Amino acid sequence: MMVIPAIDLQAGKCVRMEQGELATATVYDEDPVERAKAFVGAGAKRLHVIDLDGAFGSGENTQAIARICKAVDVPVQTGGGIRTLDHAKARLDAGAAAVIIGTILVEQERTARNIIAVLGDRVIAGIDARGSFVATRGWSERTPVDRDSLVKRVALWGVTRVIFTEIARDGMGEGYDIDALRAVSAAADVKITASGGARNLADLQLLAAQAPAAVDACIVGSALYKGTMDLAEAIAAVSR
């Protein structure tokens, strides 16, 4: 299983939040490039970079994303605020290997399907849910859209990978929601990256042991910043 460290950007800085609440944001690095290089130095084979300002509609961090992409020699997947094909292309032009779209899967289906048609497997579907219902716009809006139904739809549109986050677990250190991951995995034939909730190595080992085979990667964020998990040890723990 691949362990992918997360970098969340706000006003060009590296921050972390709990359950997507801006009021909980804590700045960990003034320069996210140094954090990115440290993650790669610890063995990361891929980085997960989210533009929080883009997600909340309060700005953008494209320059910071471009600096991160230029500074590391591993693929960078990036999301947050991608609402049009031009937005997606701008992230790829900045050096990203893949873009993550979320809100437009629900709010702008035609646009989402066009982005997937044009960019193919460089598009990842970010599906974030509180229980069975999808949340959008930086998790600030709960929708009536069923989580598993959306997974089925995006697979039909050509998506081959979904990043699934159970929002209630994000940043809380309670472990991944394996039951939800089983449901998402059963919904469609896609690869799944688990996100939200890892606190220590035991959480990763439990995920690797109990999650469906389709779950072949996981995103780790707060645990790395709070020091409850060492990235190099985490990679080794689930790579055996």
Question: Where in the sequence numbering do the catalytic residues fall?
Answer: 8, 128
For residues 142 and 125, give the distance between their C-alpha atoms in angstroms, rounded to a whole number.
17
The full set of domain ranges for the chain reads: 2-237
Q: Is the dihedral of CA 21, 22, 27, 33 positive or negative?
A: positive
* pLDDT digits 0-9 by tens, 10-25: 988 888 766 555 656 6
State the helix-helix crossing angle for 85-93 and 109-119, rounded to 10 degrees: 40
* pLDDT digits 0-9 by tens, 153-163: 999 999 999 99
CATH of 2-237, one of 3.40.50.2020, 3.30.930.10, 3.20.20.70, 3.40.50.2300: 3.20.20.70
Alpha helix segments (H runs only) across 72-108: 85-93, 103-107
Residues 6+ apart with CB under 8 A from 195: 6, 48, 163, 164, 165, 170, 176, 218, 219
210 phi and psi angles, rounded to 5 deg: -110, -20
Q: What are the distances in angstroms from CA 44 to CA 1, 83, 115, 162, 217?
A: 12, 28, 28, 20, 12
Structure tokens at 182: 């089983």
207 phi and psi angles, rounded to 5 deg: -60, -50
Q: Tell me the whole-structure pTM to 2 decimals.
A: 0.92
* pLDDT digits 0-9 by tens, 144-193: 899 999 999 999 999 999 999 988 665 556 789 999 999 999 999 999 99
Residues 6+ apart with CB under 8 A from 160: 121, 190, 191
